[in-house]
């Protein structure tokens, strides 16, 4: 057995399961899935009798395992594992060599699973480009691997789930003809982030927030994900996707539903998702004539980050020099319901910004009457910030008196780190893999949510699709054209994370 140096995690233990990874030679597997499975095993959340079956083409089991081991060293250095521990851990691995479109691959997989006597549960993880999702589901269906007569059979689908409303609907229809909706786990790793889940607990386990959580006290809400990295090696995907599809349609809109939803009647997958879908249905569709005022699209030019020169998006490998793909996107949504009428929700994200910060900022209204107006520093509007990363936690910005013979105010920030001990904070993929293994779909997107979110951004995609130019911002700067205008009538304007 692998050592169990990491302390026991909270969480329901899982049953022995065959974890099948399609695309087992890929990046997601080595960067996220294998490290998360090791961590889960070490803290007792993954049953030690589970098996990991990689489906991939053109490698021996040995070279595949070497690549996985190197992946842990490169991308998850916090996992202390030596050669000998790795040897023991890798006894859990099996490999099926085959093409995804070849029937024989699924026959071999079925045989491989059959040889694991006593193992009835199976999770199939599609860590592959989206064009393979239905091929895999059809292959599993044909050979009977999706049938749940003995144990569970769950299929995990990565993002992007479709490229627009039509393709998402087609994908849902095809998958639902092969699998039951309850077997489909559409993963959105943002929902696995602990601080995003903490938002739910914070909202619904405290009574002081609810009276403030509405249009009477809140001026606007910003949900953001700033990144300093560029597109790395993903030009092929990113050129077709852009920031709007990559981050806003999925991660940030999902977070918005958690911020805006009504309290669910119980904490179960469907009760939570029923409330989330109501939010999406209430999001006002942006009319073509308003797209310009309510959205921002921009692309990074060359610049400097951490004193290092970085190249422009159009100079990245695999990107067309004429590309007008947006690497920054901002959208101002309105939610038409009693709670949120008139409160802008501004979602924004960008690559090659000065730092990597993701947060949810609730900006409250200004005090109705300013007693201290005559003084040099009038009080600023309060805000409550949920920091998703780095430094997960909550910060409440208030005004307080400056010490001394003055009634001038100064800003006071009350910070509550999410956890004092970073070891206690689980990685998003650990949380989500555990949820799949225990059958908890609360943090996974239901078919209707995915379609509704595509329907919301469809007018923007349509307006942007024929553009012939795009605004530029300097890499490593916050000088994104149009962002200040998006917040023109909002208290304190655009909040650039510090
Ligand atoms: C992915 C996007 O879904 O999320 C990437 O495709 C992005 O472009 C990443 O970099 C951000 O995730 P995180 O967890 O680093 O905020």
Q: How many residues does the chain have?
A: 498
435, part of any domain = no
Using the predicted structure, report yes or no on whether residue 450 has a pLDDT greater than 60.
yes
Using the predicted structure, report yes or no on whether residue 421 has a pLDDT greater than 80.
no
166, part of any domain = no
Same-domain status, 201 and 65: no
Q: Give the mutation target among 35, 223, 229, 247 for probing the ligand 1 site: most ligand atoms within 8 A of CB.
A: 247
**Percentage of the chain modeled with pLDDT above 90:** 79
**189 CA distance to ligand 1 centroid (A)?**
8
Same-domain status, 109 and 55: yes
For 54-64, the pLDDT digits (tens) are 999 989 999 99
Domain end position, chosen among 140, 158, 176: 158
pTM over 0.85: yes
Same-domain status, 362 and 221: yes
CA-based diameter of the chain, in Å? Answer: 83
Q: State residue 380's pLDDT score.
A: 87
Q: What's the token pair of residue 245? A: 């599809």
The β-bridge partners of 357 are: 226
pLDDT mean over 328-344: 98
Same-domain status, 211 and 272: yes
**178 CA distance to ligand 1 centroid (A)?**
29
For 180-225, the pLDDT digits (tens) are 999 999 999 999 998 898 999 999 999 999 999 999 999 999 999 9
Q: Are 156 and 126 in contact (CB under 8 A)?
A: yes
Q: Which helix (H) or strand (E) element contains residue 223? A: strand 218-226
Same-domain status, 142 and 234: no
Q: How many CA atoms lie within 13 A of 9 on its CB side?
A: 26
Same-domain status, 140 and 199: no
10, part of any domain = no
419, part of any domain = yes
Q: Is-catalytic flag, 251?
A: yes
Q: Are 187 and 159 in contact (CB under 8 A)?
A: yes
Q: What is the dihedral of CA 155, 159, 165, 166, to 10 degrees?
A: -60
Is residue 227 lining ligand 1, measured as CB closer than 6 Å? yes
Domain count for the chain: 2
Domain end position, chosen among 111, 140, 158: 158
294, part of any domain = yes
CATH number at residue 319: 3.30.360.10
- Domain that residue 39 falls in: 18-158
For 353-399, the pLDDT digits (tens) are 999 999 999 999 998 887 876 666 778 899 999 999 888 899 999 99
Same-domain status, 112 and 200: no
497, part of any domain = no
441, part of any domain = no
Taking alpha carbons only, the member of 40, 127, 68, 79 closest to residue 435 is: 40
């Amino acid at each position: 057995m692998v050592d169990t140096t990491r302390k026991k995690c909270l969480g329901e233990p899982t049953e022995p399961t065959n974890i099948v990874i399609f695309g087992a030679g890929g990046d997601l597997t080595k960067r996220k899935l294998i490290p998360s499975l090791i961590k889960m095993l070490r803290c007792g959340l993954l049953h030690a009798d589970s098996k990991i079956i990689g489906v991939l083409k053109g490698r021996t089991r040995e070279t595949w395992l070497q690549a996985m081991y190197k992946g842990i060293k490169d991308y998850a250095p916090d996992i202390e594992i030596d050669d000998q521990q790795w040897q023991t851990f890798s006894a859990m691995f099996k490999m099926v060599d085959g093409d995804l479109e070849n029937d024989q691959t699924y026959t071999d997989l079925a045989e491989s699973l059959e040889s694991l006597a006593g193992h009835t549960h199976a999770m199939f993880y599609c860590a592959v480009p989206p064009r393979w999702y239905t091929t895999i589901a059809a292959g599993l269906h044909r050979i009977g691997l999706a049938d749940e007569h003995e144990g569970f059979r769950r299929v995990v689908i990565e993002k992007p789930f479709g490229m627009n409303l039509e393709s998402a609907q087609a994908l849902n229809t095809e998958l639902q003809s092969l699998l039951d909706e309850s077997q489909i786990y559409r993963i959105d790793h943002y929902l696995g982030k602990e601080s995003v889940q903490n938002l739910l607990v914070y909202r619904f386990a405290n009574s002081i927030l609810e009276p403030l959580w509405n249009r009477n006290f809140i001026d606007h809400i910003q949900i953001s994900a700033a990144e300093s990295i560029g597109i790395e090696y993903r030009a092929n995907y990113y050129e077709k996707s852009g920031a709007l599809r990559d981050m806003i349609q999925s991660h940030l809109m999902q977070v918005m539903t958690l911020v805006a939803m009504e309290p669910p009647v119980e904490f179960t997958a469907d009760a939570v998702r029923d409330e989330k879908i109501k939010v999406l249905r209430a999001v006002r569709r942006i009319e073509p004539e308003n797209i310009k005022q309510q959205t921002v699209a921009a692309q990074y030019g060359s610049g400097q980050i951490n004193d290092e020169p970085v190249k422009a998006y159009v100079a990245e490998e695999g990107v067309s020099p004429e590309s007008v793909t947006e690497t920054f996107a901002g959208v101002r949504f309105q939610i038409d319901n009693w709670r949120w009428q008139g409160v802008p929700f501004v979602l924004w994200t960008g690559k090659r910004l000065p730092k990597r910060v993701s947060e949810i900022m609730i900006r409250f209204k200004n005090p109705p009457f300013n007693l201290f107006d005559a003084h040099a520093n009038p009080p600023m509007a309060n805000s409550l910030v949920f920091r998703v990363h780095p430094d997960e936690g909550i910060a409440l910005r208030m005004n307080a008196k400056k010490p001394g013979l003055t009634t001038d105010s100064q800003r006071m920030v009350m910070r509550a780190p999410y956890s004092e001990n970073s070891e206690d904070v689980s990685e998003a993929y650990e949380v989500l893999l555990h949820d799949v293994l225990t059958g908890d779909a609360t943090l996974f997107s239901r078919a209707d949510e995915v379609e509704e979110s595509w329907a919301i951004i469809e007018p923007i995609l349509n307006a942007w699709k024929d553009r012939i130019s795009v605004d530029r911002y300097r890499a490593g700067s916050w000088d994104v054209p149009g962002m200040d205008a998006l917040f023109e009538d909002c208290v304190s304007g655009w909040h650039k994370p510090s």
